[in-house]
Structure 1
Amino acid sequence: MGGMTVGRDFDPLDFIDVSDGQFHELPINVLQSAIFPVVVMRESTITLVGTAFNVSPTGLFVSAKHVVEEAIRICQSEPNSWIALIWIKSGAGYEDVPDLLGGQLPVNQFYVNDNHDVAILHPRQLLEGGQPVTFPIVGLDTRVPPIGTAVLGLGYTRMTIQSHENSDALRKVTTDQAFHASHGFVTQVFPGGRDRVMIPFPAFESDARFDPGMSGGPVFAGDSTYVCGVVCSGLSSDDEAAGWTSFASMALNALVLNVTVDQSTDTSATLFELAKQGFVQMDENFDRLSLVEDGDAPYLSFPGPQ
């Protein structure tokens, strides 16, 4: 892919102007080369179910487990539908097509863990000229953002079909996608989970606004270009002055998920092991992290204060 940097470490996020308000739509930008809408495709319609972001050049997309569950529910009720990622062909390596969709990537496999609201989507391999296409990535931040830290969540809030052509020779769909940014500050941190039912996994709360469709999107903290959280849920207060209460899973929750690395031999590895091998970009704190095997519930451990 001429001009594309595989495994690109994106520049600081100062190009996102938060002075426009706490929640606003963004123009096409470089991050959309790594942050995709998660959709359910049909013969004539598309339903947006969430957002995902890529952490491996071969295409491993982190999202929220409840996004995958909703997509599966729709597909089970509608047999002629399938889960896909919509590739925005813009940003890194695609400056010549600043506002064009790149097309759909059907999802072949997904990986979840009952203990966390995170998932990994593995799309069908995309070839160009007989060679696998590689995608830009965002790295993962293993640190827990302290209370008061500024955070920025990104995700898609709607997808409206403007035109649709479907024939034996071509299927072309023109959509209006709404990529939004929401910023706020961390208000509470739950290293061991907030409760036993709704958020029993490591997470943090903020006053950022996370709308439907943003679930599964990345959350950045401070001026870091590494993802510290995965959008989980957002609630508005009955008192408008009180603002929003939103939750994000810790991004490091994804590291416990097992993914298939070789379908021919049914070989699998955790995302943690793939990160150790350099297939996933991690922050400098990662070397202090260890994966503790505990039956069906492996967990991550830090040897002392972070």
Structure 2
Amino acid sequence: MADVPSIRLDGETDPNAWHFSRLGEEGPLPNPVGHTFPLVTHDADGKWRVVGTGFYINDGGFFVTAAHVIEEVLEENRQRAPLLVLHLHSPTGVFGASEFHARPIAQCWVSDSADVALGVAASSTHKVTGEVMKNWTWTLSWGKPAERTLVHTYAFPNHIVVDDGRRIRFAPHAYSGRVLSFGEFRDRVMLPFPYIEVDFRIHGAASGGPIISGSYVVGINCTELQANLDHPSGPAFGVQSHCLADAFLDNVVLPLESSPRRVTFNELVCSGVVNVHGYSAPNETASQKGHLVDLTMAATVPLPRIELQQYF
């Protein structure tokens, strides 16, 4: 792994110091690649690349990422290239640390007003028993951490694509920093939506990763100020988790229902499909905002060879 680039987010941390919250449970963070993953695509020449990070908020495959990550494979809201969830390691042991599983995506809601997206990964089954697999999840929070609050992220900027785009080497890490500010609007161009400002770096493939405060995800990595003659790169910014409140999805069967239909994010929470700490339902006049995209395009070339350097 000597040729994996040394990319830092200014604050690598010990993942054993983290805690997670999953459907009311709390304890040491399990293998993070059980619920946080790279999103990959390939071009017309069969060269694979990593476009961002995503993370699960439901054990059946509902995930969150940044809108601009999804837009990497769109043209006029139509899919022009495949997009896959890449599981680098299964905590169940179905495949080992050097193996992987590529999971297709069915659909994705993309916000029109904030840099956030809600996707649905295709069902995944145990390759021996045929049992539908469950994944670890993060729990969202509508909370707003105070300035100087300790926050964390886990993402995949530290990777290298070799062999002409046919092999990817990953060295994922966890990183920590402090909240610098938290606001509803920063500017009309870069951050015209509720944001969280942090003092760790957000490199390209970290986009879409979770910003964790305590046990919960309070934001989603989206961008950072670029270096110029007056200052170095940074600080970084995420979109607040509550920007997902406008989301909706098609073809969802809620608990106690038998037919698939369009459901709102509020219905996902109220039915227990998604868990949100400190959740407050929107008022009755709230409307569905954003748009849905079909992401069922399959890869047309062999999957890349994946190599992983575990940090734990």
TM-score (normalizing by structure 2): 0.73
> Pairwise CA RMSD of aligned residues?
3.1
SS in structure 2 of the partner of residue 275 of structure 1: helix
Tell me the amino acid that sits aligned with residue 259 of structure 1.
Answer: L
Q: Find the counterpart in structure 1 of residue 13 from structure 2.
A: none
Name the structure, 1 or 2, with higher relative contact order (CA <8 Å, separation 6+). Answer: 2
Distance in 1 (alpha carbons) for counterparts of 2:93 and 2:172: 18
Q: Find the counterpart in structure 2 of residue 116 from structure 1.
A: 114
Instruction: Describe how 1:36-115 pairs up with structure 2 within 5 A.
Output: 36-41=37-42, 44-73=46-75, 81-90=81-90, 92-94=91-93, 97=96, 99-115=97-113
Deviation at 1:39, TM superposition (A): 1.0
Contact 2:104 2:122 in 1 (8 A): yes
User: 1:53/1:240 Cα in 2 relative to 1: closer, same or farther (>3 Å)?
Assistant: farther
Q: Find the counterpart in structure 1 of residue 244 from structure 2.
A: 254
Distance in 1 (alpha carbons) for counterparts of 2:242 and 2:252: 23
Deviation at 1:101, TM superposition (A): 3.5
Deviation at 1:247, TM superposition (A): 0.4
Further displaced range: 265-274 or 155-164: 155-164
Q: Find the counterpart in structure 2 of residue 290 from structure 1.
A: 281
Contact 1:272 1:291 in 2 (8 A): yes
Tell me the amino acid that sits aligned with residue 260 of structure 1.
Answer: D
Deviation at 1:297, TM superposition (A): 4.4
Q: Find the counterpart in structure 2 of residue 136 from structure 1.
A: 136
Tell me the amino acid that sits aligned with residue 121 of structure 2.
Answer: P
**1:205 and 2:207 matched:** no
Deviation at 1:115, TM superposition (A): 1.6
Measured against aligned partners, the alpha-carbon deviations of 1:110-146 in whole angstroms (never above 9, x if no partner) come to 1112122110121221122333211111101110111
SS in structure 2 of the partner of residue 157 of structure 1: coil
Aligned length: 260
SS in structure 1 of the partner of residue 204 of structure 2: coil
Q: Report the structure, 1 or 2, having the larger helix content.
A: 1
User: 1:279/1:296 Cα in 2 relative to 1: closer, same or farther (>3 Å)?
Assistant: closer
Contact 1:75 1:82 in 2 (8 A): no
Q: Find the counterpart in structure 2 of residue 272 from structure 1.
A: 266
Distance in 2 (alpha carbons) for counterparts of 1:150 and 1:271: 28
Contact 2:39 2:51 in 1 (8 A): yes
Deviation at 1:207, TM superposition (A): 1.4
Contact 1:48 1:158 in 2 (8 A): no
* % identical equivalent positions: 24
Q: Find the counterpart in structure 1 of residue 32 from structure 2.
A: 31
SS in structure 1 of the partner of residue 140 of structure 2: coil
Structure 1: 5+ residue stretches without partners: 1-5, 14-28, 165-172, 299-306
Further displaced range: 202-211 or 150-159: 150-159
Contact 1:115 1:201 in 2 (8 A): yes
Structure 2: 5+ residue stretches without partners: 1-21, 291-312
Deviation at 1:209, TM superposition (A): 0.8
Contact 1:38 1:83 in 2 (8 A): yes
**1:196 and 2:195 matched:** no
Deviation at 1:261, TM superposition (A): 4.2
2:275 to 274, 281, 291: 281
**1:179 and 2:172 matched:** yes
TM-score (normalizing by structure 1): 0.74
User: 1:231/1:225 Cα in 2 relative to 1: closer, same or farther (>3 Å)?
Assistant: same
